[in-house]
Amino acid sequence: MSQVPSPFVRAALDAADALPATGIAWLDAARRENLDAFADAGLPEGRNEAWKYTPLRALSQRAFALADRTVAAAIAIDPARYALPGVDGARLVFVDGTFRADLSVLDLEGVELTPLSAALAANPEPLRFAMANRYRRGAADAFAHLNAALSTEGLVLRVVEDAVVDRPVHVVHVSSGAQAETAWHVRLLLEVGKDAAVDVVEHFVSAGDAVQLGTVVSDIALREGARLGLVMLQDASAATTLVRRGHVRVDAGAVATVHALELGGALVRHELHADLDGDGARFDSRGVFALAGRQHVDTQLEVRHKARDTASDALWRGVADGRSRGVFRGAIVVAEGADGADAALSNKNLLLSGMAEIDTKPELEIYADEVKAAHGATIGQLDERSLFYLRSRGIPLASARSLLTVAFCRAAMDSLPNDALREHLGALLVAHLPTEPAA
């Protein structure tokens, strides 16, 4: 960097200096390369197009130390904090980025579940391709570089060929709040074997209100004919900054379905990239963010159709109240030769306050023939005629607003097949939404 590093960057470099070498030559080299890229570019600024609507000036002035793994391993966590109805299979719990065997359940037929540290210690070579992955140098990928340089723990999940897993795998990230001004970094590697099927629930919660930063980078591969249902529930504290990046690769005839609900956090960035690499691959996504106060949530969705007869359907909803700000970018790219692609993207948003803001940016790039594609985005307010109709039937204003807002959001959750979990997510959404109109 030509300028003096910010407190954020300086603290990250100091944290990297304190990390011991792994002894795995290719992994240590990848960490150094990613750290150098992060040090050279620093955090993205407003003129960086990928971060145009998410300023990081305040974050750059914070100095996050790495969360202490010894402390994280001893923090008492009430399992009720992350219990979910309809989710009773294997569970992996990370507290401040540290794997907690005492809170986890690893036994599930057809699934190989291994903490990343244990997998690297036992046989690192099969992980080389994913762990040594190179990101583009530059500030746009700063947090991916940071995660690659500093993450020491995570999860390796493999579903064996032809296995049909009948209970969801629950991956829990807990920000303890007991280690203020600290950061944790987790790496997730998921592979669903040929003709296998599994549901995964990734869950973010907080046990305290101290300021913490978390980054999670996920690499997900679906082999030929595989099926994956992925639910992401983010309900972190209002003091948490969370940056996630997921890359899903879908082979021929495989289907990935994602449901995402963003409720908590102070500053949240979620990047989700899907590559439809095989003929007949499909990727469907449904998502909601419901914001209040001064929350800022930025969702970046990109789907690339790279083979014949692929399909994608994205339906996302956003609600902003108070002085919150939501950002949604949805991009569909149909590559040359991806004939027969069928792609759709819809993003609708509600502003519940005159001081709230939502920025939406749909994008569509087509380089193939015989393609069916559509995209659209709207930003509006609750319909006054619908409010009047409900109030004329004796429904109080607060209840009428809540009913309309919940109905608007639930369109993105109705397709979730787990009935108990769907109802629970709906209840969380209702509890999070405002009950009174903004002043």
Q: Tell me the three state secondary structure of residue 375.
A: strand
Residue 89 has pLDDT above 80, yes or no: yes
Q: Tell me the three state secondary structure of residue 238.
A: coil
Residue 1 has pLDDT above 70, yes or no: no
CA distances from 383 to 315, 356, 401 (A): 20, 17, 10
**End-to-end C-alpha distance for the chain, whole angstroms:** 45
Identify the band that residue 400 occupies on the pLDDT scale cut at 50, 70 and 90.
Answer: confident
Question: Percentage of the chain surpassing pLDDT 70?
Answer: 97
The type of residue at 139 is A
d(CA 99, CA 316): 32
Q: What is the pLDDT of residues 137-194, one digit of tens each?
A: 788 999 999 999 999 999 999 999 999 999 999 999 999 999 999 999 999 999 999 9
The residue assigned the tokens 């109109």 is 437
d(CA 56, CA 9): 12
Counting Cβ atoms within 10 Å, is residue 29 exposed (0-12), middle (13-18) or buried (19+)? exposed
Identify the band that residue 371 occupies on the pLDDT scale cut at 50, 70 and 90.
Answer: very high
pTM of the model: 0.94
Pick the closest to residue 436 from 402, 406, 410 (CA basis). Answer: 402
Is the CB of residue 58 less than 8 Å from the CB of residue 114? no
**How far is C-alpha 339 from the geometric centre of its chain's CA atoms?**
30
d(CA 160, CA 96): 29
384-392 vs 397-410: helix crossing angle, rounded to 10: 130
CA distances from 73 to 39, 77, 99, 369, 386 (A): 30, 10, 8, 55, 52
Residue 378 has pLDDT above 60, yes or no: yes
Residue 439 is predicted with a pLDDT of 47
Average pLDDT, the chain: 93
d(CA 314, CA 270): 15
Query: Residue ranges per domain, the chain?
Result: 7-383
Q: Which helix (H) or strand (E) holds 49?
A: none
Residue 438 has pLDDT above 60, yes or no: no
Q: What is the pLDDT of residues 413-433, one digit of tens each?
A: 999 999 999 999 999 998 888
Pick the closest to residue 190 from 97, 112, 274 (CA basis). Answer: 112
Average pLDDT over residues 75-98: 96
Q: What is the pLDDT of residues 251-299, one digit of tens each?
A: 999 999 999 999 999 999 999 999 999 999 999 999 999 999 999 999 9
